[in-house]
Amino acid sequence: MNQSQKKYFTRYNEPIAFILGIYPTSNLGAVRNLGRHGVPTVVLDIKKSQAAFFSKYAKGFLCPHPKYDEEAYIDFLLHIGAQLPEKGVLIPTGDTETLALLRHQSHLESYYHFTMASYEKVNLFINKQLFYQYLEKQDIPHPKTFFPHDENDVKAASAELSYPCIVKPIYPTYFRFDFHTKLFIASSPQQLLSLYRKAREKNHEMMLQEIIPGEADTMFGYNAYYDHRGTPHGMFMYQRIREWPLGFGNGCYIQHVQEPILEQITTSLMRKIDYYGIVDAEFKRDPRDGLFKFIEVNPRVWMQNSFPSRYGYNLPYMAYLDAIGKPLPENPMSVQHQTVKWVYFLEDVQSVRAQIRNRSIQLRTILPAYSLRNEHAVFAWDDPLPFFILGCGSISKLFSTLLRPTEFR
């Protein structure tokens, strides 16, 4: 750490928020959510090209890789922590960072406030085997799922699954580092076994899961911040309109909805395990029985975190305030901007292109997504530089993607 960096960390007499993660919209959303309230904010990442590095609301610093060099990553944080006049606040935006921080909580908490529950409680959500087994125990609706110990278990499960089906990792983030996708799709028992072997060669524990029918608009989400008493704050629900990649990607164009059952299911679960922190819970409405099936919980800041803030629910700021012992803001009495949607342009244009090719989209629904009245993942009137930096870095890649044949995953 050079002298100018040391000066930066010692210039504030209030807790600095540290945003840790690699996904650009997660980091940028958190930075703006905090910066607009005057919170001093630092982004730590392994690449200089991180969009949030160019935000006027944050200062960016390069750091070691949290997965491939975890010890150096933690040492780096400890070294920064020793320079701080006030304890910092750790706000991870990825599973890898979240687990690394919690594994070393006993050392880090001398210098930092944590914004999430213990390793055991958080890992219950990140470890998909623990999560689905807990859902089964609590009789909470979810997709039919198998956890094979060996190839014989795979062969047995293959007879109970319909095709296509999902071959999915227990720890999705680590799997993505090796295969650059979040899951495999098997179209036959033979391919199921082959994909299982491929993943096991890289030492990934895998699960096998049915595919609940339905397009992007059957996917829903619930966001909130749970305080130490298990009380939810800033409850917000959304529905996907489009996603990328098609079928099993992320929501790249979403809208606000009211589905109170999502809050009921999630809050019941959070209170049973005595969880606190930010929650992004995902559900799929099964057209076969109309039930919302639990898909996953992200126990951290997620990619669309700037969206609830347009409705008055700034969850990263709530987490920051609670961590330093300040009162949380009251929920807004009335919801404004009723028609505002959230869109990630760089992914949505790819989704639109793919849907045009397979004739599954109405053309009149395309342009409204890009209205500047919407909440954009990267562009912001008060903080435009990250958009131009990320745009310049992505434009050639985007056009090369748009010009080649569509790949469906």
What are the φ and ψ backbone dihedral angles of 165, each rounded to 5 degrees? -140, 175
What residues have CB less than 8 Å from 18, skipping those under 6 apart?
A: 41, 42, 43, 44, 77, 80, 88, 89, 90, 91, 112
Cβ contact 112:18 at 8 Å: yes
Q: What letters, b where the CB count within 10 A reaches 16 and e where it falls short, cover 276-289?
A: bbbbbbbbbbbeee
pLDDT at 10: 83
Tell me the CA distances in angstroms from 99 to 64, 70, 92, 409, one per residue in order: 15, 10, 9, 28
Half-sphere exposure of 31 (CA within 13 A, CB side): 30
pLDDT at 112: 98
Half-sphere exposure of 129 (CA within 13 A, CB side): 13
CATH of domain 144-209: 3.30.1490.20
Query: Hey, how many other C-beta atoms are within 10 angstroms of the C-beta on 213?
Result: 11
pLDDT at 403: 57
pLDDT at 406: 46
What's the CATH number of domain 216-403, 3.40.50.620, 3.30.70.270, 3.30.470.20, 3.40.50.300? 3.30.470.20
Cα 328 to chain center, whole Å? 23
Q: How far apart are CA 96 and CA 247, in angstroms?
A: 24
Tokens of 346: 């760089």
pLDDT at 407: 42
Q: Say whether pTM exceeds 0.85.
A: yes
* Domain 3-123 architecture: 3-Layer(aba) Sandwich (3.40)
pLDDT at 129: 96
pLDDT at 371: 95
Query: Per-domain residue ranges for the chain?
Result: 3-123, 144-209, 216-403
Strand partners, 238: 221, 256
Tokens of 37: 């309230």
Q: What is the mean pLDDT of each run of 10 residues along the chain (409 residues)?
A: 75 94 94 98 94 96 95 98 96 97 98 98 97 97 97 97 97 87 95 98 97 97 96 97 94 97 98 97 98 98 97 97 95 67 95 94 92 96 92 61 49
